[in-house]
Amino acid sequence: MVNPIYIIILSLLAGFLLSIFDKGGRKLSLTVFYSVLTFNVFVIADWFYRFAILGVSTLTINTAGFSAPLSINLQLGMLESFVLLFANLAGLLSAIYLIKKFKESKISSLILYLILIMGVNGLVMTRDLFNMFVFLEILSISTFALTILTKNKKSLSAGFKYMIAGGVASTFFLLGVIFVYYFSGNLNLEFISSNDFTNYGLIGVFLLAIGIFIELKPFPANGWALDVYESVNSGIVAIIAVVNSAAIIFVLYKILPLLPTVYLSVFTGMGIVTYIFSNLVGIRQSNPKRLLGYSSVAQMGLLAASLFYTTKLGVSQNISFLIAGGIFINHFIAKALLFWIAGIVKKNNIKDWSVLRNNIPLLILFGISLLALSGLPPFPGFWAKWEMVKVFVGSKYYIGLSAILVGSLLEAFYLFRWFGYTTKNKLNKETMEQVQFSQIFPIIVFVLILFFTSFWIMTNVYSLNYFNYLPLVAIFGMFLISFLRSKVKAIISIAAVVLYGYFLFPLGMSIQLLFGIIFIIGSGIVIISTINRKNTGKGFYGFLLMMIFGMGNLIIAESFLAFFINWEFMTIAAYLLILRGKRAKIPAIVFITFSLAGAYFILAGFGYMPNIANNGAIINTIGTIKIPLMAMILMIIGFLVKSASFGAHIWIPGAYAEAEDDVTPFFSSMFSKTGIFGIILLAISFIKQTPDFDLFYWLGWLGAISAIVGAFLATFQEDVKKLMAYSSMSQLGYIIVSISLLSHLGWISGLYLTLNHFMFKAMIFIAIAGVIYRTGTRQMYKMGGLIKKMPLSFITVLIGIIAISGVPPLSGFGSKWLLYNSLIEKGWFLQAGVFFFASAVSFLYLYRMIHSIFLGQMKYEHQNIKESPIWYLIPQVIFIIGIMAISMYPNLIIQPLNTIVGNYFNSSIVIDGYNVTSSLGYWNGNMVMYVTMGVFAVPLILLLLINGRTQTVKQFNIVYAAERPESPQTTHFAHNMFSHYYKALGGLTKPRIQSFWNYVSEGTNSLAGLFRQIYSGNGQTYILHIILYIVAIYFIMGV
Amino acid sequence: MDIMIKIFYAIISIIVATVYGLTLGGIVRKIYARAHGRFGPPVWQPFLDIIKTHGKRVSISHGIMFYLGPVFRFAGGLGTYLFIPVIFGSAIFSNFSIAGDLLLVMYFIFFGQLGMALGAGEGGHPYSPIGIARGLSQMTSFEVPFALSVIAIAIQYNTLNITTIVAAQQGGITNWTLFTNPLAVIAAMISLLGMNMHSPFSIVLAPQEIPIGPPIEMNSSFLATLQTNRGLFAAAKLVLFMNLYFGGATNLLIMVIKTFLIYMFSVFVGAAFPRFRPEQSMRFFLKWPTIIGIVAIIFIAYF
């Protein structure tokens, strides 16, 4: 047990003596330097252990033999030790990171570094206002001096601006200290209370607070700080960005009790403004360090806002610690990591970061840091956001809520874009420098701490059920066995999926079982097609399993939180899978932006949710609570994004098309169903509790519009995967409308469609993956006549399109019959009309696909290609069997669905043998099958009997009127097949939604450009900003 | 009922319908010829055509799907016909309408079209897919007013069962859908023009542009199968319209008269108007007939 004052004393002493030690050689001075830093960490860690684990009470240290207020006193408690532990650890690690630099630089840099750390320690512990000012100045000056150690013109001017601005801020703080002393007669925080300041006395508190607040670099008065981030050595910036900020935010925390409520509100607002605008400006930034600077500033704004706001509301201490602590740790660790990595990569444009691909471990660490900084689970920032949204919704602070979510989205956007550049930009020949152990060591330590904290929060704060860890376990597990051959990994993955399903899923007749079949069994089958891969590269199966387990967990999630983290796991995994595609840079960023936007809607929606009893999966308990309308709307928007409904559909073609071909089936047949599952989840509550507003009527219309628009979009595609992507959008429109009917027949048809879509989309996409694998193109007009070479794939696609189009006798007709019956029964007549239209239009794209690929004339270059590999064929055959079985014996599926839906509605159909009767009509699937077989067999047999003389000729053996076409290449009618329809639709074909989103993105970009102009680089202007800012705040608060 | 008797009746029913459909085709050709100022072929010419094409010494196939195309087409015709009750109250002509309702018939029409489209596609002749692309596009557009009309009568009779719809129209001409729900009938009759593909909607077979379109590579028995189907399918469609809109038929004679008159509507229009371009045809169906169909639904559902 060492008195913490020795931290300060020793640092100070060592600081003075270092130059003497240095005379004995740099080794000696470095030993002393690192020993002191290490000593600090151990002392604080020891104290933190005492406070956190042993529950020792807060320690007060008097100096100079007097107790406060006669002398300055220090305080070390749980919070102080927590902040200082991180600060000192970061100080030590950053010093290790800088060891090479420290070996060469002047001794003064070591001294300054030590003084800086000492300043931080003092600032956090001191309880005396004037002493705070002193430490602030120490911090400011040592930072400035360290800044200009990097010898270039930029850093010099940046450092100068930093010092001047810091000086201005401290001046206000000092003025504040003077006024506070004048009004309260004291300088020690223990002896000052907010009651001391009434009327004009408030000016003292105001100056105090604004001085500190300026140090936190609020937007727009923060130009002075950003130049520093950009121009100074990464190791030092890591300290400035995280350690300095941590100390300053803690000072703010200490003076919080003095502030009147109105100040808290305004400062909250200013923090949020900083968050959203800094992130906005960040999207225009290409310099990685400056980008991180914007992000730092934003995060500090968020942290300050959360501190002010929770204090204002008097939120319980646990929650406010979780929020502020979560943001703090997240920012602290992730930002330090990213600055360190930036120092290793040494590229001044994020577009050049592809060089990081030469060092895969570092790339992984980089990815982890980005995910953490974006506030995604399981990292601490996520939990903070989760609680914060609840607090904001609870107190009806909607502007703040939306600003924070928009800000988060912007931040995630530029971070993921950066990751996209890194993983996808062209890799030049240049290689990275050898990474020093001293540079990688701090990174690894912080990543471990990051994971440890995340794990600690998951287990100790939320005590989540064990299966919620499985997506993470999967990715780690697959990482550990990544040395194995890819076929072995595929088989392990299948086994893992099977075991997961077997142990976790309830087998009773329920919606859970249905979606379990789709997500789990479906995934197991589709993984078979990936066995074909010769080399998967690292991570593929990890991401895949993470996505599958994430989807599976949605069904059995026992709380809203569990649902949402799995939702995010699934989204992250999907993003990483899409990103693996060769040209997936843009589609992946569009995907993640839309997905996260959707997720934030869901997050906000969960904020409105009442508490739910924690017994069993929420899909089973959701009926017991009434979901507020606002939550319903927000969450439905989120789910619709996932199922690519009209309006949010523009992510779908790129993501589906550019994902690897054997990954797309997962997206289309399973991943998109998660949105449907979410809508069902909400609908269950909606039907069990009397709703105020018939939201689902409008959702039904949206489904109808998605169906028709998706069908037309598919019709005009040349790219087969884009065609099928839009087809998914259209088909999901059918499902959405039937779920929205909220009737027995509607739900049967919705679930039937879901199951059917799952099967035919999986098999078509796998068949197409095989075709693309053989032909090497996705453009349909570049293929043709492949029926001769790939007959099995043709049969799959044929059965698939019959099942989609609803032509009897296959299962698709059942779904159409149920759909129209349910629509008409409900009285949704015009919607039924739209679906007739959509279903007719689906013939256009289906024919286009099968004709352009398999029929017509074959290209010369495809003369020698073979059938799809066996691993593609196996899952196709399984799905064909599935489709044929439920077509022949519809009861296999109608009966169970009747039981499942019977849990929610009274049955409206009669099942008698194979005859299904609704209030409107009837359908006997089995008999239709037999009649069809009969009417097919009769002409076939006749034709075979009377037409025995048939001779078969090649496809190109055709004749125009007395003329022979020149070559098969020019004779295949495929390109722009429906040009006449395009013409007929006239102005309706304008891509309005695409234009809208382009407008949004360009508008955001221009807005960012506009705000960026305030950063003129001129120091005087920056000072003016600060003064104006203070004046403005002064007036807003009406001090 | 014994399934063998059912099948036996079905065969009779099919033969009657095919013969009737083919004769009707012959009559139409005669009418067109007279309108053009020609003498025209004899009324039994379609039968001669079928016999002739069957008798061809050479038969060419482009592959299995090509071979199956006409089979699909004919099966589609047979199926469509077999799922429609032809004569109200007749055991012989009730077919397999026990298997499903109006929706089944509407979707079974696609069965033949899709199969034929695939078969013709394998033929490799570019005129086939051109014709099919036109045909499918036109089909999507005339399907809209027809579907709206069907929905309107489903609302009106509260059923999709064809037999029940016919039953509801018995007992006098004023009970026909034509008089109880005229807007739905107008929408459906306009879409019938498209289904029958006479001018101005003859864009699929369009002789001067894409000579006979989809079946261009079809020959010998393949073509004969298609020609046979043309008779049966025409009859099936007309019977369907008669059942839905014109009170059905209680005996064969009434069936013949009614379907003949329904068909004449297409023939008169076809003889009088020139051909549309494909996009004009689609636009036409998606405009006025669709609006009439929507009004029919609104009218019947809410007034």
- Spell out a b/e string for B180-190, using b for 16 or more CB atoms within 10 Å of the CB, else e: bbebbbbbbbb
Helix (H, G, I), strand (E, B) or coil at A480: helix
Average pLDDT of chain B is 91
Q: Which residue type is seen at B131?
A: G
Partner-chain contact A833 B102, CB within 8 Å: no
B207 touches chain A (CB under 8 A): no
Amino acid in the structure at residue A688: K
Contact A950 B159 (CB under 8 A): no
Q: Which of A931, A946, A959, A966 to substitute to test the interface with B, most B CBs within 10 Å?
A: A931
The confidence band for A962, taking pLDDT boundaries of 50, 70 and 90, is low
Could B124 and A813 be called an inter-chain contact, meaning their C-beta atoms sit closer than 8 Å?
Answer: no
What residue segments make up the domains of chain A, in order of their start?
1-127, 464-636, 694-947
* Closest-approach residue (CA) in chain B for A708: B140
The residue type at A95:
A
- Do residues A290 and A1017 lie in contact, with contact meaning Cβ atoms separated by under 8 Å? no
3-class state of residue A999 by DSSP? helix
Residue A719 DSSP symbol: B
Neighboring chain A residues of B158 at a CB cutoff of 8 Å: 919-920
CA nearest to B109 within chain A: A807
Which of B71, B227, B300 has the highest number of chain A CBs within 10 A, making it the mutation to test binding with A? B71
Kindly determine whether residue B101 and residue A939, on different chains, have CB atoms separated by under 8 Å: no
pLDDT at B88: 87
Tell me which chain A residues have a C-beta less than 8 angstroms from the C-beta of B113: 843
pLDDT for A455 beyond 80: yes
Q: Testing the interface with A: which of B62, B204, B229, B297 to mutate, by most A Cβ within 10 A?
A: B62
**Residue B285 near chain A (CB below 8 Å):** no
Q: Quick one: closest CA in B to A935, which residue? A: B75
Q: Which of A958, A961, A981 sits opposite B124 (nearest CB)?
A: A958
What's the length of chain B? 303
Q: Can you tell me the distance from the alpha carbon of A268 to that of A395, in angstroms, rounded to the nearest whole number? A: 13
- Nearest-neighbour CA in chain A from B187: distance (Å): 13
Question: Do B204 and B214 contact (CB within 8 A), yes or no?
Answer: yes
**Does the distance separating the beta carbons of A829 and B297 come in below 8 Å?**
yes
Dihedral in degrees, nearest 10, Cα atoms A73, A78, A82, A87: 0
Q: Which of A836, A850, A974 sits opposite B147 (nearest CB)?
A: A836
Give which of A822, A851, A935, A981 to mutate to test B binding, by max B Cβ within 10 Å.
Answer: A935
B293 shares contact with chain A (CB less than 8 Å): yes
pLDDT at A989: 85
CB A45 within 8 A of CB A85: yes
Residue A498: exposure state from Cβ atoms within 10 A (0-12, 13-18, ≥19):
middle
A197 close to A183: Cβ distance less than 8 angstroms = yes
**Distance, CA of A283 to CA of A685 (rounded, Å):** 40
Q: What is the DSSP letter of B77?
A: H
For chain B, residues with pLDDT lower than 70 are 1
The whole-angstrom distance between B233's CA and the closest CA on chain A is 13
Q: SS3 for A130?
A: helix
Which residue ranges make up each domain of chain B?
3-302
Q: Given B62, B136, B286, which is nearest A847 (Cβ)?
A: B136
- What angle (nearest 5°) sits at the alpha carbon of residue B77, between those of residues B199 and B56? 85
Write out chain A residues lying below 8 Å of B211, CB-based: 961
Q: What is the pLDDT of residue A854?
A: 94
Q: Which amino acid is at A419?
A: F
Question: Testing the interface with A: which of B50, B97, B105, B107 to mutate, by most A Cβ within 10 A?
Answer: B107
What SS3 state is found at A73? strand
- Sort strands A73-76 and A59-62 into parallel, antiparallel or unpaired: antiparallel
Inter-chain CB pairs, A–B, below 8 Å: 249
Nearest Cα residue to A840 out of B109, B160, B143:
B143
Q: Look at residue A90 in the predicted model and tell me its pLDDT.
A: 95
B105 interfacial to chain A (CB closer than 8 Å)? no
Q: How confident is the model at residue A224 (pLDDT cuts 50, 70, 90)?
A: confident
Confidence of residue A240 (pLDDT cuts 50, 70, 90): confident
Q: What are A685-723's pLDDT values in tens digits?
A: 988 887 778 889 999 999 999 999 999 999 999 999 999
ipTM of this complex prediction, to 2 decimal places: 0.95
- pLDDT digits 0-9 by tens, A72-93: 888 999 999 999 999 999 999 9
* A921 touching chain B per CB within 8 A: yes
**What are the E-state strand segments in A613-700?**
none
Whether the per-residue pLDDT at A418 is higher than 90: the answer is yes
Partner A contacted by B151 (CB < 8 A): yes
Cα–Cα distance between A543 and B111 in angstroms, integer?
42
- Which residue type, as a one-letter code, is found at position B227? Q
* Nearest chain A residue to B221, by CA: A947
Residues 179-198 of B with CB under 8 A from A: none
Element (H, E) at A810: none
Average pLDDT over residues A271-299: 93
Beta bridge partners of A915: A912, A924
A870 burial via Cβ count (<10 Å: 0-12, 13-18, 19+): exposed
| Residue for token pair 């028995």 | B221
Cα separation, B272 vs A415, whole angstroms = 67
Q: What is the distance between the alpha carbons of residues A1017 and A928, in angstroms, rounded to a whole number?
A: 77
Cβ-based contacts of A805 with chain B (< 8 Å): 110, 114
What's the mean pLDDT when you consider all of chain A? 90
CA dihedral sign of residues A822, A511, A897, A518: positive
CA A671 to chain centre: 15
The answer to whether B188 and B146 are in contact (CB under 8 A) is: yes
Whole-number Å distance between alpha carbons of A738 and A676: 11
* Other beta carbons less than 10 A from residue A6's beta carbon: 13
Nearest residue to A411 via CA among A463, A362, A374: A374
Residue of B nearest to A803 (CA): B111
For A1013-1018, which contacts have Cβ atoms below 8 Å and span 24 or more sequence positions? Answer: A1014/A220, A1014/A223, A1015/A223, A1015/A226, A1015/A281, A1016/A223, A1017/A223, A1017/A227
Give CA angle at A891 (A888, A897), nearest 5°: 130
Distances (CA, A) of B234 to A574, B81, B220: 52, 10, 21
CA closest to B125 among chain A residues: A958
Is the CB of B100 less than 8 angstroms away from the CB of A924?
A: yes
- In the block, tokens 């003025």 appear at A175
The verdict on a CB contact (< 8 Å) between A833 and B148 is yes
Task: Find, in chain B, the residue whose alpha carbon is nearest to that of A821.
Answer: B160
Query: What are the pLDDT digits (tens) for A97-154?
Result: 999 888 888 888 899 999 999 999 999 999 999 999 999 999 988 888 888 777 777 8
Contact (Cβ atoms closer than 8 angstroms) between residue B244 and residue B150: yes
Q: How far is CA A614 from the centre of its chain?
A: 26
A797 to chain B nearest CA, in Å?
12
**Coil/strand/helix, residue A911:** strand
Q: Which of residues 838-867 of A touch B (CB under 8 A)?
A: 840-841, 843-844, 847-848, 850-851, 855-857
Q: Given an 8 Å threshold on Cβ–Cβ distance, is A984 in contact with B137?
A: yes
Q: Which residue of B125, B232, B302 is the best one to mutate when testing the A interface, meaning the one whose CB has the most A CBs within 10 A?
A: B125
Q: Which H or E run contains A60?
A: strand A59-62
Pair A529, A663: CB distance under 8 Å: no
Q: A249 and A271 in contact (C-beta within 8 Å)?
A: no
On the CB side of A582, CA atoms within 13 Å amount to 2
What is the percent of chain A with per-residue pLDDT over 90, rounded to a whole number?
58
Q: Which chain A residue has its CA at the smallest distance from B290's CA?
A: A833
Contact A129, A177 (CB under 8 A): yes
The interaxial angle of helices B220-245 and B64-82, nearest 10 deg, is 30
Which of A981, A982, A985, A988 is the best residue to mutate to test the B interface, defined by the most B CB atoms within 10 Å of its own CB? A981
Average pLDDT over residues A523-538: 86
pLDDT (0 to 100) of residue A760: 94
Predicted confidence (pLDDT) per residue in A160-190, tens digit: 888 888 888 999 999 999 998 988 888 888 8
Is B74 in Cβ contact with A939 (below 8 Å)? yes
Give how far A723 is from chain B: nearest CA, Å.
16
Q: How far apart are CA A421 and CA A353, in angstroms?
A: 7
- A778 Cα to chain B: minimum distance (Å): 20
CB contact B233 to A (< 8 Å): no
Q: What pLDDT shows up at residue A536? A: 63
- The Cα A92–Cα A86 span in angstroms is 10
A13 and chain B in contact, CB less than 8 A: no
> What pTM was computed for the model?
0.94
Residue A534, phi then psi, degrees to nearest 5: -80, -45
Partner-chain contact B63 A813, CB within 8 Å:
no
Chain A contact present for B30, CB below 8 A: no
Residues contacting A650, CB < 8 A, separation 6+: A590, A594, A993, A994, A997
Using DSSP, state whether A76 is helix, strand or coil.
strand
Please count the residues of chain A: 1039
Q: Determine the Cα–Cα distance for residues A958 and B126; give it in Å rounded to an integer.
A: 9
Q: What tokens appear for A890 in the block?
A: 């519809």
The pair of three-digit structure tokens given for residue B211, joined into one six-digit string? 């000579």
